[in-house]
């Protein structure tokens, strides 16, 4: 265990998050997402895992150390429900609550059509799969910056 590091974050995930640069994206996926196949096409090239937790719990762990990009560009996306793109499912509402709490303000996610999400995921730095079993528990995050201390 490390002080002030969420215990859900394993060494591989921490290394990937630290290695990412400003503007890099990462996917946090549910158990139904083709995580391994997509992960092979990412920059990292291998699948990362935060097993046995919900998507919201994994997002909470990741956002405890990862800054989101500024509001000047969307920094948190969710896979849209097919046939109902404006519907926000409970799993997505839970993740939205984590984002808002972490950011200290409302930071609405944008929707990404399912097949467009797959294409964007292939361009990501990495994919982290979770134990989330609910449908549409797939999210895309853009890394921001930590400003210098003045």
Beta strands in 45-86 (DSSP E): 48-50, 76-79
Q: Are 142 and 74 in contact (CB under 8 A)?
A: yes
Q: Please list the helix, strand and coil fractions of the chain in percent, rounded to the nearest 5, in that order.
A: 30, 20, 50
Q: What is the DSSP string of 82-103?
A: TTBTT---HHHHHHHHHHHHHH
Q: Is 22 a catalytic residue?
A: yes
Per annotation, catalytic residue among 30, 86, 100, 118: 118
Per annotation, catalytic residue among 30, 69, 125, 136: 69
Do you know the residue count of the chain? 150
Per annotation, catalytic residue among 22, 36, 51, 110: 22
Question: Which residues does the annotation mark as catalytic?
Answer: 22, 69, 118
């Amino acid at each position: 265990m490390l002080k002030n590091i969420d215990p859900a974050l394993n060494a591989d995930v921490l290394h990937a998050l630290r290695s990412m640069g400003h503007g890099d994206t990462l996917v946090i996926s549910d158990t139904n997402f083709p995580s391994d196949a997509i992960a092979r096409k990412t920059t990292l090239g291998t699948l990362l895992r935060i097993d046995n937790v919900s998507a919201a719990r994994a997002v909470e762990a990741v956002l405890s150390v990862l800054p989101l990009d500024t509001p000047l560009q969307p920094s948190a996306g969710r896979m849209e429900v097919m046939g109902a793109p404006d519907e926000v499912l409970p799993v997505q509402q839970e993740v939205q609550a984590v984002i808002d709490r972490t950011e200290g303000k409302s930071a609405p996610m944008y929707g990404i059509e399912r097949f467009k999400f797959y294409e964007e995921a292939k361009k990501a730095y990495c994919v982290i799969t979770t134990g989330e079993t609910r449908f549409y528990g797939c999210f895309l995050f853009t890394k921001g910056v930590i400003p210098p201390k003045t």
